[in-house]
Amino acid sequence: MSDAATGPAAGDPTTTRIAVVIVTYNSSAVLPACLDALTAVTGVTLSAVVVADNASRDESLAVARAAAFALPVVPVAVGRNAGYAAAVNAGLAALDPASYDAVFILNPDCSVSPDALAVLAAALRRPGRGITAPLMLNADGSLQPSLRRTPTVRRALGEALLGRRAERYPAGSELVTDPAEYREPHAVSWATGAALLISADAAREVGPWEESFLLFSEETEYCLRAADHGYATWFEPAAVVTHIGGPSGKDPFLSKLIVWNRVRLFRSRHGALRSGAYYLATLLGQSMRALRGRPEARAATEALLFPSRRVTSLAE
């Protein structure tokens, strides 16, 4: 049983109280390892571990309930596959806001190293920071690029014309791939939402996650909106999380969701002229890849051109 939940740290006013929100969807194969890793965390008090389930057809909620002997598990049945942001919001709604100092949003295919939450919590205490992001590793221990730059028309055009080569240039790509950028702590525009620690103050002021995105871009929107409220996102490489991840970029359904959501997000934050340029740059990149025979790019191109091809529900 974790001493973070029930040992000497529990109730210690000098430790940070962290509530964890894990979003599951048919996650029974990976959830046990995720929960087991949480039982070993040190240096913080786990006030609750909410498992918000998006109507899984497997035993995800049963796995969560079985872990209640070792963790303060709170199972939440969302009732439908409502998307990542909606499940995060359902998980947050199940918490007493007075019971935590920070909330850790976590994918079920992630394993947290024992000291990661304490490291993230310490970094979060500095003024101006509202979100801290860990170093993400693949299952084989290699670096998983998880940091991103602010979306711009130039970066959309760079990715369209140069593809993966654009990643060599900060002005040409959102994705941060330079290993040097992952060695030192620093402020970032946003980081992938598989593992993010958010202060209670930021969570309260920024408000709920935007549910219309369903999947992808919801963490971008949230981090950028947090910055609008004066809360920076801080990368802390001393905190390590292993993330199995999945091949979303090769799935036509998910690819069109990724691409269209990026355009929607940009439109929500910029005027018509810049939004139009961003749309055209994105369309150029996807249509060029579609002409090379890539089915995921064809699906994304159709979503950009035809409103009827866009994803409005994960039940589609």
Same domain membership, residue 82 and residue 25: yes
What whole-number distance in Å separates Cα of residue 274 and Cα of residue 200?
Answer: 34
Same domain membership, residue 277 and residue 202: no
Domain boundary among 204, 222, 246: 246
Same domain membership, residue 302 and residue 291: yes
CATH code of the domain in which 139 resides: 3.90.550.10
Residue 145 lies in a domain: yes
pLDDT at residue 4, as a whole number: 40
Same domain membership, residue 139 and residue 277: no
The answer to whether 217 touches 261, Cβ cutoff 8 Å, is yes
pLDDT at residue 153, as a whole number: 97
Residue 89 lies in a domain: yes
pLDDT at residue 164, as a whole number: 86
Residue 181 lies in a domain: no
pLDDT at residue 42, as a whole number: 96
Lookup: tokens for 89: 């919001």
Same domain membership, residue 299 and residue 200: no
Same domain membership, residue 140 and residue 204: yes
Residue 174 lies in a domain: no
Vertex 155 angle, CA 165 and 258, to 5°: 90
Structural domain count, the chain: 2
Same domain membership, residue 259 and residue 232: no
What torsion do the CA atoms of 166, 264, 191, 52 make, to the nearest 10 degrees? -140
Question: Which H or E element spans position 171?
Answer: none
Residue 19 lies in a domain: yes
Residue 209 lies in a domain: yes
The answer to whether 133 touches 188, Cβ cutoff 8 Å, is yes
What whole-number distance in Å separates Cα of residue 249 and Cα of residue 199?
Answer: 31
Same domain membership, residue 284 and residue 303: yes
What whole-number distance in Å separates Cα of residue 147 and Cα of residue 134?
Answer: 10
Residue 30 lies in a domain: yes
Residue 160 has phi, psi (to 5 degrees) of -70, -45
Domain boundary among 246, 271, 293: 246
Residue 127 lies in a domain: yes
Q: Would you call 16 helix, strand, or coil by DSSP? A: strand
Residues spanned by the domain of 239: 3-150+189-246
Same domain membership, residue 224 and residue 122: yes
Domain boundary among 223, 246, 269: 246
Digit-by-digit pLDDT tens for the chain (316 residues) are 333 433 333 345 458 999 999 999 999 999 999 999 999 999 999 999 999 999 999 999 999 999 999 999 999 999 999 999 999 999 999 999 999 999 999 999 999 999 999 999 999 999 999 999 999 999 999 999 999 999 999 999 999 999 889 888 899 999 999 999 999 999 999 999 999 999 999 999 999 999 999 889 999 999 999 999 999 999 999 999 999 875 555 788 889 999 999 999 999 999 999 999 999 999 999 999 999 999 999 999 999 999 887 877 766 5
Same domain membership, residue 130 and residue 37: yes
Same domain membership, residue 266 and residue 198: no
Lookup: tokens for 213: 């995105």
Which residue from 12, 15, 19, 18 is spatially nearest to 43, judged by alpha carbons? 15
Residue 228 identity: D
Same domain membership, residue 256 and residue 220: no
